[in-house]
C-alpha cells in the first residue's frame, strides 16, 4: 500500500544541508532561529499540501466524498487559506474558528459547526454566515437552534451527532465515540430527536448522521464498525419515519507518527477500507449512496509542523538523569503534560557530530511535570544549541497558553527557501493588553 504523509516522522522536505544543519522547506533551521528567535513554530507548506492531496487521491474512488479539515488542530488565517485553496472544507467547534475561516475567504457552505455546548451567539453567527451544516449534539440545542432560526426566518441544515458506542484504543481524554461520553445523542435517543424535528421544529432540516470516535487512531476496524452502525440507523429511520437521510459524517481521528514506534495506517489504506465498507452497506441495507464526510485534523497538519527551541541550562542529578532546559515547554506544547504524549527531536546544528548523551528535555515553566521529552539520545549539548521537535503542527499552538505570563511564540510558513511570518510573536504589551486596574485601586 502506498505511503502517505501522515506516516512520516518529519516534514517531507527535511534534509541536512552543506553546513551540517537541518533544513525544512529550503530554509536552514539555524537561520530561522536567528531571524525569528525561539521558541518558533515552523510549518512546511509542501508537506501540508501533500497530505491534502493524499486524502483527495485516497478517496477519489468515491466521488461523493467531502474532506473537512478539523480546525481545532491548528486554526490560523494562513493555514485556513491554504486548506481552502486545496478544496477542503472545515469542521469548526467555536465562533472563533468560524470567524477565522470566514475572514480567510473560505467557502462557508463547506463548513460544519460542531460542539456539545454551542452558545446563542455562536448559533446566530453560524446562521448569519450561512455555514453549511450544524451538527446538533443534544435536545437543548435542537430547541435553541430552532428558536434562533425561526427568529431569522431561516432553515438550519443539520446533522444529528450520535455516540455509536465504539471505543478506540487511544488516550481516554481523546475518546469520544463510547457510550459514556459528553458528546452526542445516545442511539436510544435518536427517535425522539427525529420526532421533534418532524413534528415541532419546523426550522430545522435533517440531512444525516455524524459521529466521531476519537483521535490518534491506528486501528483500521474502527471506521467500518462506525459505518455499519450509521448505515443501519439510516435504513431503520427510513423504515420507521419515511425520512431519507443522505449524509454520513464519520469524523476524523487518523493517527500520525510521533516516534519511530508509531505505525499509523496510511490515508490510502483507510480510504480503501472505508469505501469498500460503504459500498457493502449501501447494498446490504438498500440505501442510496450517501454523501460521505470526513474530518481529519491532526493527520492533515501535524507532520508539517516542527518547533524550534534554544538550549539553556542543564542539571546532572547525581546517579540520575541529566536535565537539559529549553526556552519553551508546557505553555507552547501542553500535550506531554496532558496526555503523556511522546515526541522525537534532533539538534538542528550538530548533524555531523558523533558523540551523544542521554538527556531529558525540560521546559522552562514552574511545574515539575513540564517535561517535553523523557530520555532521548542527542549529540553532546551546549547552551545556545537549537533543538527541533518534530510533528508539532497539531494541538501545540492551538492549545498554547500564557502560563507564567510568558508570550506565545511566533509561527512561520516555509516554502521553496522562503520564510514568512503567519503569527506574530506576542510582546509583553500583548500580555497586559486586556488587563484593567479599577480606578479605585489607582488612588
Active site residues: 366
Peptide bond into 45 cis (omega under 30): no
The 3-state secondary structure of the chain, one letter per residue: CCCCHHHCCCCCCCEECCCCCEEECCEEHHHHHHHHCCCEEEEEHHHHHHHHHHHHHHCCCCCCEEEEEEHHHCCCHHHHHHHHHCCCEEEECCHHHHHHHHHCCCCHHHEEECCCCCCHHHHHHHHHCCCCEEEECCHHHHHHHHHHHHHCCCCEEEEEEEECCCCCCCCHHHECCCCCCCCCEEHHHHHHHHHHHHHCCCCEEEEEEECCCECCECCCCHHHHHHHHHHHHHHHHHHHHCCCCCEEECCCCECCCCCCCCCCCCHHHHHHHHHHHHHHHHHHCCCCCCEEEECCCHHHHHHHEEEEEEEEEEEECCCCCEEEEECCCCCCCCHHHHHCCCCCEEECCCCCCCCEEEEEEECCCCCCCCEEEEEEEEECCCCCCEEEEECCCCCCHHHCCCHHHCCCCEEEEEECCEEEEEECCCCHHHHHCCCCCCHHHHC
Distance (Å) of CA 418 to CA 24, 28, 244, 309, 392:
10, 10, 51, 20, 20
Q: For residue 358, give the nearest of 391, 396, 328, 314 by alpha carbon.
A: 314
Three cell numbers written together for 380: 553532546
Distance CA 302, CA 263 (A): 15
Give the number of residues written for the chain: 443
Three cell numbers written together for 265: 495506517
Question: Do 146 and 120 form a contact (C-beta atoms < 8 A)?
Answer: no
Amino acid at each position: 500500500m502506498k505511503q502517505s504523509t501522515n506516516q512520516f516522522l518529519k516534514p517531507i522536505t527535511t534534509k541536512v544541508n552543506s553546513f551540517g544543519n537541518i533544513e525544512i522547506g529550503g530554509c536552514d533551521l539555524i537561520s530561522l532561529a536567528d531571524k525569528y528567535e525561539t521558541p518558533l513554530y515552523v510549518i512546511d507548506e509542501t508537506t501540508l499540501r501533500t497530505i491534502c492531496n493524499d486524502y483527495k487521491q485516497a478517496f477519489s474512488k468515491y466521488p461523493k466524498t467531502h474532506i473537512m479539515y478539523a480546525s481545532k488542530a491548528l486554526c490560523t488565517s494562513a493555514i485556513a487559506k491554504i486548506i481552502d485553496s486545496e478544496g477542503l472544507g472545515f469542521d469548526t467547534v467555536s465562533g472563533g474558528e468560524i470567524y477565522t475561516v470566514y475572514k480567510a475567504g473560505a467557502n462557508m457552505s463547506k463548513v460544519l459547526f460542531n460542539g456539545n455546548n454551542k452558545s446563542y451567539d455562536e448559533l446566530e453567527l453560524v446562521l448569519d454566515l450561512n455555514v453549511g451544516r450544524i451538527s446538533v449534539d443534544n435536545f437543548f440545542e435542537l430547541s435553541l437552534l430552532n428558536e434562533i432560526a425561526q427568529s431569522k426566518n431561516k432553515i438550519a441544515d443539520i446533522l444529528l451527532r450520535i455516540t455509536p458506542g465504539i471505543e478506540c484504543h487511544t488516550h481516554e481524554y481523546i475518546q469520544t465515540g463510547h457510550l459514556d461520553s459528553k458528546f452526542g445523542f445516545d442511539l436510544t435517543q435518536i427517535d425522539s430527536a427525529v420526532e421533534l424535528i418532524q413534528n415541532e421544529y419546523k426550522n430545522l432540516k435533517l440531512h444525516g448522521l455524524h459521529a466521531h470516535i476519537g483521535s490518534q487512531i491506528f486501528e483500521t476496524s474502527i471506521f467500518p464498525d462506525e459505518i455499519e452502525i450509521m448505515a443501519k440507523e439510516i435504513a431503520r429511520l427510513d423504515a420507521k419515519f419515511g425520512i431519507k437521510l443522505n449524509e454520513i459524517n464519520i469524523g476524523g481521528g487518523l493517527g500520525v507518527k510521533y516516534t519511530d514506534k508509531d505505525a499509523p495506517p496510511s490515508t490510502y489504506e483507510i480510504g480503501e477500507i472505508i469505501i469498500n465498507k460503504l459500498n457493502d452497506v449501501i447494498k446490504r441495507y438498500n440505501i442510496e449512496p450517501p454523501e460521505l464526510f470526513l474530518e481529519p485534523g491532526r493527520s492533515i497538519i501535524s507532520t508539517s509542523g516542527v518547533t524550534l527551541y534554544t538550549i539553556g541550562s542543564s542539571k546532572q542529578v547525581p546517579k540520575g538523569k541529566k536535565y537539559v532546559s529549553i526556552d519553551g515547554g508546557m505553555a507552547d506544547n501542553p500535550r506531554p503534560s496532558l496526555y503523556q504524549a511522546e515526541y522525537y527531536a534532533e539538534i538542528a546544528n550538530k548533524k555531523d557530530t558523533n558523540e551523544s548523551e542521554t538527556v531529558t528535555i525540560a521546559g522552562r515553566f514552574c511545574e515539575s511535570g513540564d517535561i517535553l521529552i523523557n530520555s532521548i539520545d542527542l549529540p553532546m549539548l551546549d547552551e545556545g544549541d537549537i533543538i527541533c521537535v518534530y510533528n508539532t503542527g497539531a494541538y501545540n499552538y492551538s492549545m498554547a497558553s500564557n502560563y507564567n505570563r510568558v508570550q506565545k511564540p511566533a509561527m512561520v510558513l516555509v516554502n521553496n527557501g522562503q520564510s514568512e511570518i503567519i503569527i506574530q510573536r506576542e510582546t509583553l504589551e500583548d500580555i497586559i493588553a486586556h488587563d484593567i486596574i479599577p480606578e479605585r485601586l489607582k488612588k
